[in-house]
Chains A and B, each alone.
Chain A
Amino acid sequence: MATDYRGKLAELIDELSRLPGIGRRSAQRLALYLIRQPLERVEELAAKMVESRRHVHPCPHCGNLSEDECCDICADQSRDRSIICVVEDAAAVISIERSGEYGGLYHVLGGIISPLDGVGPEDLTVNELVKRAKDVEEVIIAVNPSVEGDATTLYISKLMKPLGVKVTRLASGLPVGGDLEYADSVTLARALLGRTEV
């Protein structure tokens, strides 16, 4: 346990264990690894952290992360400006970009509506989305299929209604290679709702 560690090392473990997804045990492992590294290597790591924090910021248009005035995607004139894909965080932008199937703009919500945790639309960039949506034809809501994802989708689609924007959500449900016979009914219902014309 951490009570065995003292002074600087204990402080480092404390600090690391505050990082998301890092428990006490992982923090100890990381700290012990770091102190065994050459000093230059650790200085470089520390400098990288400071530099990223200093230079990377959310794009003022879409909330995606960027080092420039606005992000690569918003700056790219070849992208379709009539469509916005709404995502939870910047990591989702990377995932969708990797699919290579999307050529429009993004909107990063900075979280997801999570009623049980008291996270509501006010805590996210929902108002900014409403402003942007006035100038587009379609808004795709690309959040995880979960209760929080459903709450977010239903809420946003309601706000979009009076704007006359087409609102779609990602089809979700049957995993590739899955067997229809073994699908549960929540998954099947979602897959039916998200069915596409062939």
Chain B
Amino acid sequence: MSIETTDVVILKQTPFGETSRIITLLSRDFGLLRGVAKGVRQQSSRLARFLEPLTEVELVLYYYTDRDLHLISKSSELNPFHQLRSNPLRLAHSLVIVEHVLRLLPPEDPSPQIYELLVESLRLLDEGAVNERFVLLAFRVKLLHLLGIAPRLEGCITCGKKLTSRVNIFFPSQGGFICEECPPPWREGRMTERLGERALRVRREVIALLNQLSKGDIVSFGGKTPGGGLLSEAGRLLGFHTNYHLGVNIRSERFLKEAREAYGEK
């Protein structure tokens, strides 16, 4: 066991025993991990105050190399991100981001870049200067890249040629696009006849957007947010890809949809 001080983002709390909670968090130095916070459901607990989900705090951790449940002993505030909890759209978008971290990251495999990406995305949502959907899309593209499971966007995966058609076809099973001149990944029939559930038509502008996002930083796009259609299409591609390769459906997207509907956004 070692005593460690580390910056973390609190992701989730679940009750544990009569008075404690298990806190799931992303640590800059230790990655995604779970820690017990003892006695934090009692009104008198001092520790409880700085374990609120969607905040960044500095923790003192009893880190056990031989266990997957550690002990949280002290906590102090770094970034409370107040505005995330006062606006349903910002809250819904932040929760989708948090769920991606919870479900896509391998446990205790630290990545300072993913940590920075998470904090930066929450900060942007908190400040509200950049469109929420755009922040979420950028987060997803960058996360898949950092995890090494991003879709291939640079060209046809068979012949390598640039994707110049107005509409291109994405194959989740192949993790990328196949151009019209190359044979489809199944034998019989022409490509366009058998797309169905197995492939997705994607506009050229969407590919360009995803490419740009995977390279640039989010803020530099801030001024000129792409239209809703482009964002949805790009989001659908990433969802399709993530679902196919990881078998993960992001549950909180349902609330995001409901929040958008309640707030008259499509």
Per-position binary interface string of chain B over residues 6-38, scored 1 when its CB falls under 8 Å from any chain A CB and 0 otherwise: 000000110000000000000000000000000
Pairwise interchain contact B258-A155, C-beta atoms closer than 8 A: yes
A147 to chain B, nearest CB (A): 5
Q: How far is the CA of A150 from the CA of B83 in the complex (A)?
A: 12
Chain A residues with CB below 8 A from B102, complex form: 116
Q: Is the CB of A151 within 8 A of B49?
A: no
Q: Which residue of A lies closest to B94 (CB)?
A: A147
Residues of A within 8 A of B239 (CB): none
**B82 touching A186, Cβ below 8 Å:** yes
Residues of B contacting A159 with CB < 8 Å?
Answer: 262
B251 contact from A115, A182, A184, Cβ within 8 A: A115
Contact: A118 with B254, CB < 8 Å? yes
Contacting pair A184 B98 (CB below 8 A): no
A92 CB to nearest B CB, Å: 16
For residues 26 through 44 of chain A, which have their beta carbon under 8 Å from a beta carbon of chain B? none
Interface flag for A113 (CB, 8 Å)? yes
Q: Are B254 and A120 in contact (CB under 8 A)?
A: yes
- Cα A190 to Cα B252 in complex, Å, equals 24
Main secondary structure of the interface of A (DSSP, over half): helix
Residues of chain A contacted by B71 (CB below 8 angstroms): none
Q: How many residues belonging to B are interface residues under a CB distance threshold of 8 Å?
A: 34
| A154 CA to B85 CA, complexed, in Å | 9
Q: How many residues of A contact B (CB 8 A)?
A: 25
Q: In the docked arrangement, what's the CA distance between A186 and B255, Å?
A: 23
CB of B262 within 8 A of CB of A118, answer no
**Contacts of A175 on B, CB cut-off 8 Å?**
43-44
Q: How far is the CB of A24 from chain B (nearest CB, A)?
A: 13
Kindly state whether residue B87 has any CB partner on chain A within 8 Å: yes
- Residue pair A186, B43 in contact (C-beta under 8 Å): no
Would A185 and B82 count as touching, CB distance under 8 A?
yes
Nearest A residue to B263 via CB reads: A158
Residue B80 at the A interface, CB < 8 A?
yes
| CB atoms of B251 and A117 under 8 A apart | yes
Which of A147, A182, A189 sits near B53, CB closer than 8 Å?
A147
Q: A150-B85, A151-B255, A184-B77 are known contacts; what are 14 more A-B pairs with Cβ within 8 Å?
A: A115-B95, A115-B99, A120-B254, A120-B255, A122-B258, A147-B91, A151-B88, A154-B86, A184-B49, A184-B80, A186-B52, A186-B80, A187-B49, A189-B82
Residues of A within 8 A of B (CB): 113, 115-118, 120-122, 146-147, 150-151, 154-155, 158-159, 175, 182-187, 189, 193
Question: Taking beta carbons and an 8 Å cutoff, which residues of B are in contact with A?
Answer: 12-13, 43-44, 46, 49-50, 52-55, 77, 80, 82, 85-88, 91-92, 95-96, 98-99, 102, 251-252, 254-256, 258-259, 262-263
The 7 tightest CB contacts between A and B, nearest first, are: A118-B251, A115-B255, A115-B252, A154-B88, A184-B49, A115-B95, A185-B80
